[in-house]
Structure 1
Amino acid sequence: MPADLHFTKGQGTGNDFVLFTDADGQIDLVPTQVAAICDRHFGVGADGVLRAVRSENIPEGAAALAEDPAAEWFMDYRNADGSIAEMCGNGIRVFARYLLDNGLAELAAGETLVIGTRAGVRDVQRSKLGFQVDLGRWRLDGGEPLVRAKNLQVPRPGLGINVGNPHVVVALADDDELAEADLTFIPHVEPEPEDGANVEFVVPSEPLVRDGVGHIRMRVHERGSGETLSCGTGAAAAALATRHWAGAGAPDHWSVAVPGGVVGVRMFPTEDGEHVALSGPAELVYEGDLAIA
């Protein structure tokens, strides 16, 4: 029999999600149910689904609690096609907003909210833009594959970067190329990453650096979701790639313009290596009840 699912719709720079609470881990949606919810014509419409489950009640939560016992809540993230994803930079900020607004967690100024994910524990703090999340250590990963995209005349070299999930970043010459790329088609990456990858197309601003901050523009095709208005981890990967290409003297603070707005990226040293942080807005849009089969 169909059951009702109480949900909240949220978004961060246009990257939108359906969120619901399942504290005890009793609601395990199958991929077809997630895809139906995310369908923009016959469902609620979203880039993905975020389930709020207590870490102690999901198998993957054991690793989160072992890493940090304060990780009471686990962000169980599914792409729009129902596939599982490791992390989502915009999603975790919206997830934090959801926990706070529903009285499931508290976060005073200067304090940290610890959230479990499949990429490990992530720390969220309030920021001027809304929320900032420490995405943890990043790494070059996946080499420099060739990327083909519809309406781009020749394949372009990309740079593989992992920020808890896999990305391939491609530099384009100008805004015209960025606009011409047809991302309704999945970009073809050679060699194909074993677990797939989000693919970011980036154009540097002119000048690249203003007042010590780097500025780039980006579009993205997300693995399992298609082109989205924003990708938080993708923005971090794009900034990291641009800094890598720019070489010595490139800044550690970046402003990344995406179709849905602007997010901030910051690189900073820690005892276990360089981390990258993402900041940006997070809003809850509406609530409702949905019958799921």
Structure 2
Amino acid sequence: MTDAHLPAAGTPLTGLRFSKGHGTGNDFVLVADPDGAHIITPEQVAGLCDRHRGIGGDGLIRAVRSQHVPEGLALLADHPDAEWFMDYRNGDGSLSEMCGNGVRVFVHFLIEQGLVVLHPGHSLTIGTRGGVKVVARTDNGYMVDMGPWEFIFPEQAAERGMDSIVETSGVDVARPGLSVSMGNPHTVVALPTLDELAAANLTTAPEVAPLPPHGTNVEFAVPAEPLVSDGVGYITMRVHERGVGETLSCGTGACAAAVATRFWAGDDAPDVWAVDVPGGTVRVRFFPGPDGREHVELSGPAVIVADGVLA
């Protein structure tokens, strides 16, 4: 067990227990606040997520019962089984609608903390700012119904297969992008080779024009050659996350990259995709949802690596 010292602004959190977890390298600080007793400021989040002066993480997740969060309370009217709400903040303290790796780690955290019981083959409904998500436990991880996807600029996507231009340090010329909403915004850029993917400098945010209304995460995807093997599509991806920077993985980003690549590949493209990210591999599957729309399922591991107390 470790202690973490916070900046002066974070001293009201003294004594609060925390865990550190990750999903394919996308890492989070997690705190349990079932009754909504703590208001964690953006400055405190940034301090906790600082990799040199805090605990370090791509974001912070607060586990709170939905009834204690306005967004969660609104969801309970139609989803009374969504007892728990994933209050997710980016590493800079800004709010985020949803995180595909984070929701898997969140459910694993609830189990580890004894707040829920979830056996393999069973599922749990979770509230998020991106709507409710159903998370099923598998023998080696978690499987999430991420809900329906949609194009952010549908007319441009249908007409041209792209909707924006993306300029990125390390990439020789601006490239076309396709913007996809997975409950949060993404702009996907296809690159031809792994060498070009490796050369992209994601320490600074790519410039996207036009920019989606609430900003965007930017994914750079390289299709495998061949693209499809044994009915599964394969792509390799890096991502610059809004409010964070480059991360080892992004679950919603992997889904968006699969959406865009599948769209570009045409009608014969498969419904199952393996997405390699610097932190590992996640699996994406498309299926008809109960609402009549096409849904995206994300599968991957979740790990808790440490527990501690804020000093």
Q: TM-score, normalised by structure 1?
A: 0.97
Partner of 1:172: 191
| Partner SS for 1:4 | coil
1:13 pairs with 2, 24, 49, which one?
24
Partner of 2:8: none
TM-superposed CA distance for 1:207, in Å, is 0.8
Partner of 1:183: 202
Partner of 1:101: 112
Uncovered stretches (5+) of structure 2, i.e. residues with no partner: 1-10, 157-162
Partner of 2:289: 270
TM-superposed CA distance for 1:104, in Å, is 0.6
| Partner SS for 1:67 | coil
Q: Distance in 2 between matches of 1:270 and 1:34?
A: 35
Asked if 2 retains the 8 angstrom alpha-carbon contact of 1:106 and 1:113, the reply is no
Asked if 1 retains the 8 angstrom alpha-carbon contact of 2:147 and 2:289, the reply is no
Q: Distance in 1 between matches of 2:199 and 2:299?
A: 28
Q: Distance in 2 between matches of 1:199 and 1:91?
A: 18
TM-superposed CA distance for 1:235, in Å, is 0.2
- What letter matches 1:18 in structure 2? V
TM-superposed CA distance for 1:107, in Å, is 1.4
1:236 pairs with 227, 230, 255, which one?
255
Q: Distance in 2 between matches of 1:282 and 1:52?
A: 16
Asked if 2 retains the 8 angstrom alpha-carbon contact of 1:20 and 1:50, the reply is yes
For residues 187-206 of structure 1, the aligned pairs below 5 Å read: 187-206=206-225
- What letter matches 2:302 in structure 1? A
Aligned-CA RMSD value:
1.0
| Partner SS for 2:108 | helix
Greater CA deviation, 177-186 or 120-129?
120-129
1:4 pairs with 4, 11, 15, which one?
15
Partner of 2:5: none
Partner of 2:126: 115
Partner of 2:304: 284
Asked if 1 retains the 8 angstrom alpha-carbon contact of 2:121 and 2:138, the reply is no
Uncovered stretches (5+) of structure 1, i.e. residues with no partner: none
Asked if 2 retains the 8 angstrom alpha-carbon contact of 1:129 and 1:279, the reply is no
Partner of 1:74: 85
Q: Distance in 2 between matches of 1:129 and 1:39?
A: 30
Asked if 2 retains the 8 angstrom alpha-carbon contact of 1:55 and 1:72, the reply is yes
- What letter matches 2:301 in structure 1? P
- What letter matches 1:122 in structure 2? K
Asked if 2 retains the 8 angstrom alpha-carbon contact of 1:201 and 1:218, the reply is yes
Partner of 2:244: 225
Asked if 1 retains the 8 angstrom alpha-carbon contact of 2:23 and 2:300, the reply is yes
Greater CA deviation, 91-100 or 1-10?
1-10
Deviations 1:86-139 (A, max 9, x none): 000000000010011111112123221110001111000023540000000110
TM-superposed CA distance for 1:9, in Å, is 0.1
Greater CA deviation, 190-199 or 232-241?
190-199
Q: TM-score, normalised by structure 2?
A: 0.92
- What letter matches 1:161 in structure 2? V
1:85 pairs with 75, 96, 99, which one?
96
Deviations 1:6-34 (A, max 9, x none): 10000000000000111111111111110
Give yes or no for the alignment of 1:151 onto 2:167: no
Q: Distance in 1 between matches of 2:174 and 2:286?
A: 30
Aligned residue pair count? 291
Partner of 1:28: 39
Q: Distance in 2 between matches of 1:226 and 1:42?
A: 18
State the identity %.
Answer: 60
| Partner SS for 1:106 | coil
Deviations 1:220-260 (A, max 9, x none): 00001100000000000000110000001100000000000
TM-superposed CA distance for 1:140, in Å, is 1.1
2:53 pairs with 42, 57, 80, which one?
42
Q: Distance in 2 between matches of 1:81 and 1:287?
A: 22
- What letter matches 1:243 in structure 2? R
